Amino acid sequence: MSLMPHRFFRLLTVVWVGSLLTIGYAVAPVLFTSLDRMTAGAVAAQLFRIQGVIGVVCGILLLGLANLLVRRGRSAYRRLRWLIAGMLVCVLIGYFALQPFMNAMRVAALEAGGDVEHSVYATRFGLLHGVSSLFYLIESLLGVALVWLLPAHVGTAANEEGARAVTGKVAG
């Protein structure tokens, strides 16, 4: 059986979870310590938008691959589908339900001549930001669990070793 779906599954997982952790827990904090809040917020919003697209694309592809691998008898991927589905729900809610409202408030505050932190939208923006951060944290924890639970091998190496041992006994 081909190792390609398993390897592609691992690659997509690393891209999604790696970018999720890097942007959320390394890049965004550095932005806010290095730049003024308004500029940092604008850059972070762009990065999180890109992260959202990465999450949706990787999530859909991973669900498809997990289903393929389960159909091929790789039952270890059965439980991983739930983690992927949970991560995908977090992406959809966080980036495509909450983020547009946050961006609208940011734009409205800019049009009024200030930043969102000092506008009439500050309380609602803070609440949405907190909820969005919670979904990001849940997605991150599910991602770490996904990486942790990835099958170390798909069984083909063990099958090949067993086949070599049997062939050696028959030939010898």
Long-range contacts of 6-11 (CB under 8 A, 24+ apart): 6/69, 6/74, 6/151, 6/154, 8/65, 9/62, 9/65, 9/66, 9/69, 9/77, 9/150, 10/150
Name the pTM for this structure. Answer: 0.83
62-96: pLDDT as tens digits: 999 999 999 998 988 999 999 999 999 999 999 88
pLDDT at 157: 43
90-122: pLDDT as tens digits: 999 998 899 889 888 888 888 888 888 888 888
pLDDT at 8: 95
